[in-house]
Amino acid sequence: MFNVGKKKERAFTLIEILVVIGLIAILAAIVLIAINPARQFAQARNSQRESNINTLLNAIGQNTVDNKGLFKCGTITIGVSTSTIGTSGADLASCLVPTYIPASLPMDPSTGTLADTGYTVSFSSSLGRYLVCSEGYKESALGISSAYCLSR
């Protein structure tokens, strides 16, 4: 008559579990879209590029000040034409490291190598300033289509 020895166990039904998993998936997708990791990584790389360009400009500026207004680096001259910074172009490592840059020449976070750091340098005779640019600054995730340049 009565179920004396049986206890009624409470459990989740399959439908309830599937609904909870679905809600978690929807929330995860919303969070992922809101965070947009590709954009975050692109912004981080561009921040690193800006820092690297400032480091290079400061080092070139310090070398120029130490040499009475002229940049001296052995046989390398920074002219009006744009030169790639690296062993394949304007190899400034011997002139700037370790005197002005402690460890090594900064490299572009995406494409930098020893031969091509991802940065270019030139001298603007009309402004009397050195110009360092990063072509890698063009990030499709950020909608940027031009290089980032600083002069000093």
Q: What are phi and psi of 131, to 5 degrees?
A: -125, 125
**pLDDT tens digit string along 61-89?**
999 999 998 888 888 888 888 888 888 88
d(CA 76, CA 84): 12
What's this model's pTM, rounded to 2 decimal places? 0.78
Residue 94 falls inside a structural domain:
yes
CB of 115 closer than 8 Å to CB of 24: no
Please give the residue range of the domain that contains residue 71: 34-151
Give me the number of domains the chain comprises.
Answer: 1
Task: Examine the pLDDT at 7 and tell me if it is beyond 80.
Answer: no
- Quote the CA–CA distance of 40 and 22 in Å, as a whole number: 27
The answer as to whether 117 is a domain residue is: yes
CB atoms within 10 A of CB 114: 13
Question: Is residue 82 in a domain?
Answer: yes
Q: What does the pLDDT read at residue 23?
A: 98
